[in-house]
Structure 1
Amino acid sequence: MTAVLLLLSCPAPAAAEPPPRRPPSTGPEQEMLDQAKRLVDQGRIADARDIHLTLWRLTRSASDAFRVGMLSFRLRDFQMASEFLAIYFDMVGTPDAPKIWVPPGFKESYELARANFAEARRHVGALEVRVSEPGAAVLVDGRQVGVSPLKLPVFVAPGQHRVGAQLSGAQVEVPAAVDAGGERTVWLVLRRAGAEAPGAPRASKAAELPGATPPLSARGPGLRWWTVGGLAATSVALGILGGVSVAEANDAAEERDAAFVRARWEVFRCHPGLPACDAYAEADGRAQTFTALAVGAFIGAGLAAGGAVAAGVLLAPEAKVRVEAVGAAPGLALSFSW
């Protein structure tokens, strides 16, 4: 008897509470609903949809999202039909697990909305926009479609579109193409103003001063060409000068030797004023001058050639890494430039 009394006194397990019911429509709201119904009966679908769009902006209710989506489907506005029916599904859940209170006959209307949504999706594309920073304004073709992170995809007409994001002065925009019935994920990487890329060299103090001229790139293509080309041209010019100087030095040496032989036969001792001695002295001076010039030219040509090789190595093409923001996932592309 005691056990039976204890069992009877135990509280029964509480049943799962149903989702709260939506408050009844107010007077002005009910009047707008009645007016929209009359317009539908008269076949004025676009006007009825405009009323439900106004109600949606005021109430953000699932029923208004449902009506806007269904009326848009009847108008063959598949882009808006897809957008509002997706919002409706997100708000109500499923017939087996509704998120909000649903009226009788909800399953039938839900299945009809699903069928219309599937048909509408055949005519439009979907863009899943992923932004690196939360709270950024997301724009598609210049129209703001929400704030990151976007919960639902953006439905667009098939073709090429511009997808961008803006936040605190930083902005990014990339092209994205999508086919009818297709879906594409677009990744947008926003870098806040003043942020430096990882590994990027810091600007010099002179460049940070107002009105200062920004320093030229130390490894620009123009500098590479001018440095390597100038050193190579200098090396060639000095090599030619050295060759000419060798030829002149050889000629002067031959003249000097001939003058020396004449001087030995004409006089026993050279002194200024004698033609053979003067010719010998002049030829000897020219031979020494051109010999020194040839040696210097060849040394300079070698140094210039070595400098050209060193410049070609030190100013070799540098690898630049850029982030591709369009595609199924962010990737890295390696590009080289000379």
Structure 2
Amino acid sequence: MTAVLLLLSCPTRAAAEPPPRRPPSTGPEQEMLDQAKRLVDQGRIADARDIHLTLWRLTRSASDAFRVGMLSFRLRDFQVAAEFLAIYFDMVGTPEAPKIWVPPGFKESYELARANFAEARRHVGALEVRVSEPGAAVLVDGRQVGVSPLKLPVFVASGQHHVGAQLAGAQIEVPAAVDAGGERTVWLVLRRAGAEAPGAPRATKAADLPGAAPPLPQLPPRGPALRWWTVGGLAATSAALGILGGVSVSEANHAADDRDAAFIRARWEVFRCRPGLPACDAYAEADGRAKTFTALSVGAFIGAGVAAGGAAAAAFLLAPQAKVRVGGVGTAPAATLSCSW
């Protein structure tokens, strides 16, 4: 029982111990702090912020991140304000669970920083940059913002930006747009040119075998343009033939009506048709037109079906040679379009 109580009491004491207090400021550092305070009292906020930026680069302390963020907010430099206040929150934790030693009145200053951060976020966007490889330099609009993996988002002005990463000769850059107050995650996959996946088996080619004949020259690959020109041309031909067939059917129906009317007139005018009689000649002319347009419509519809089948075949046969693009049209929509004709 005594051993159990001792084991249970050890974590409790460790949890109750406060975070270690930051060492006091040195002489030069204290002089810079006093100078920054005098500049703030004089209303020279930008000069005071420059001093705290210098101190931040030297000390990397939460108090300097706090002062840079708060002074940037007063200058309405919302991008820098959001960046340094986010760093401050990450370093200090929360009033309920602080990560470092915090002075009295910390909760009030923390809540004020939270309010300023929320207002700054309304004016800037946030980019969560995720890189496939650790240790890569992350760049936004040509400026290095850190090394992957980034712990915090990158705060930028609203609009279009260029996000990239570089590592050991491999690099990638993609465009990314974000609105004010919005967030966006950018995924960057670094691949070295010509590199193969580690441990991947190498495929054996016929040319690698002893005594194999030299490979035949390869035809240039068929790109998406060839596929879509072929499918589009055949689909357009199919549509044109379909329209021609419909017009021919209409003309054949009109000719058949004229033929029927001429036949009725011929029955009332003469008992037997022979060339030279107006009714008989009208009947023969209408009958010829009806047969001609009927044959033309049948041929046009057959041609439209053949062209549609060719469009569908081209969509499927040429698709393996085409590159698939994100947001592009795939094989299934092409086949649906061509078959619909």
Normalised TM-score (structure 1):
0.60
Contact 1:122 1:181 in 2 (8 A): yes
Contact 1:319 1:334 in 2 (8 A): no
Partner of residue 133, structure 2: 133
Displacement, 1:189?
1.1
Deviation track 1:240-277 (CA, whole Å, cap 9, x = no partner) reads: xxxxxxxxxxxxxxxxxxxxxxxxxxxxxxxxxxxxxx
Cα 1:314–1:22, aligned 2, differ >3 Å: closer, same or farther? closer
Cα 1:321–1:95, aligned 2, differ >3 Å: closer, same or farther? farther
- Equivalent residue of 1:152, what SS? coil
Q: Among the aligned pairs, what percent are the same residue?
A: 79
- Equivalent residue of 1:14, what SS? helix
Q: How do 1:197-276 residues align onto structure 2 when only pairs under 5 Å count?
A: 218-221=220-223
- Equivalent residue of 1:318, what SS? helix
* RMSD, aligned α-carbons: 3.7
Contact 1:168 1:193 in 2 (8 A): no
Larger radius of gyration: 1
Displacement, 1:193?
3.6
Contact 2:130 2:150 in 1 (8 A): yes
Partner of residue 316, structure 1: 318
Q: How do 1:157-168 residues align onto structure 2 when only pairs under 5 Å count?
A: 157-168=157-168
Q: Return 5+ residue gaps in structure 2 as ranges.
A: 209-216, 231-312, 335-341
Contact 2:223 2:323 in 1 (8 A): no
Contact 1:319 1:335 in 2 (8 A): no
Displacement, 1:53?
0.4
Displacement, 1:91?
0.3
Deviation track 1:273-307 (CA, whole Å, cap 9, x = no partner) reads: xxxxxxxxxxxxxxxxxxxxxxxxxxxxxxxxxxx
Cα 1:44–1:321, aligned 2, differ >3 Å: closer, same or farther? same
Contact 2:95 2:106 in 1 (8 A): yes
Cα 1:218–1:31, aligned 2, differ >3 Å: closer, same or farther? same
Displacement, 1:25?
0.5
The yes-or-no answer on 1:107 pairing with 2:117 is no
Partners of 2:317 and 2:106 in 1: how far apart?
71
Cα 1:91–1:317, aligned 2, differ >3 Å: closer, same or farther? same
Partners of 1:182 and 1:176 in 2: how far apart?
12
Question: What letter corresponds to residue 172 of structure 1 in structure 2?
Answer: I
Displacement, 1:314?
10
Partner of residue 93, structure 1: 93
Partners of 1:163 and 1:317 in 2: how far apart?
32
Partner of residue 191, structure 2: 191
Partner of residue 63, structure 2: 63
Partner of residue 80, structure 1: 80
- Equivalent residue of 2:13, what SS? coil
Partners of 1:171 and 1:164 in 2: how far apart?
7
Displacement, 1:168?
1.0
Displacement, 1:14?
3.0
Displacement, 1:17?
1.1
Displacement, 1:313?
9.8
Question: What letter corresponds to residue 318 of structure 1 in structure 2?
Answer: P
Deviation track 1:146-199 (CA, whole Å, cap 9, x = no partner) reads: 111110000000001111111111111111110010001111111134324799
Deviation track 1:60-79 (CA, whole Å, cap 9, x = no partner) reads: 00000000000000000000
Partner of residue 20, structure 2: 20
Displacement, 1:96?
0.1
Contact 1:219 1:315 in 2 (8 A): no
Partner of residue 270, structure 2: none
Normalised TM-score (structure 2):
0.59
Partners of 1:136 and 1:70 in 2: how far apart?
31
Cα 1:108–1:322, aligned 2, differ >3 Å: closer, same or farther? farther
Contact 1:320 1:335 in 2 (8 A): no
Partner of residue 53, structure 1: 53
Partner of residue 304, structure 2: none
Q: Return 5+ residue gaps in structure 1 as ranges.
A: 1-6, 207-214, 229-310, 325-331
Partners of 2:322 and 2:80 in 1: how far apart?
42
Partners of 1:317 and 1:157 in 2: how far apart?
42
Cα 1:115–1:319, aligned 2, differ >3 Å: closer, same or farther? farther
Cα 1:73–1:221, aligned 2, differ >3 Å: closer, same or farther? closer
Partners of 2:206 and 2:139 in 1: how far apart?
36
Q: How many residues align?
A: 230
Displacement, 1:47?
0.4
Displacement, 1:317?
2.6
Question: What letter corresponds to residue 126 of structure 1 in structure 2?
Answer: A
The yes-or-no answer on 1:178 pairing with 2:178 is yes
- Equivalent residue of 1:109, what SS? helix
Q: Which has the higher strand share?
A: 1
Cα 1:314–1:46, aligned 2, differ >3 Å: closer, same or farther? closer
Partners of 2:128 and 2:192 in 1: how far apart?
22
Displacement, 1:219?
2.4
Partners of 2:128 and 2:39 in 1: how far apart?
35
Partners of 1:314 and 1:322 in 2: how far apart?
14
Deviation track 1:24-75 (CA, whole Å, cap 9, x = no partner) reads: 0011111110110010011000000000000001110000000000000000
Deviation track 1:71-129 (CA, whole Å, cap 9, x = no partner) reads: 00000000000000000000000000000000000000000000000000000000001
Partners of 1:193 and 1:34 in 2: how far apart?
54
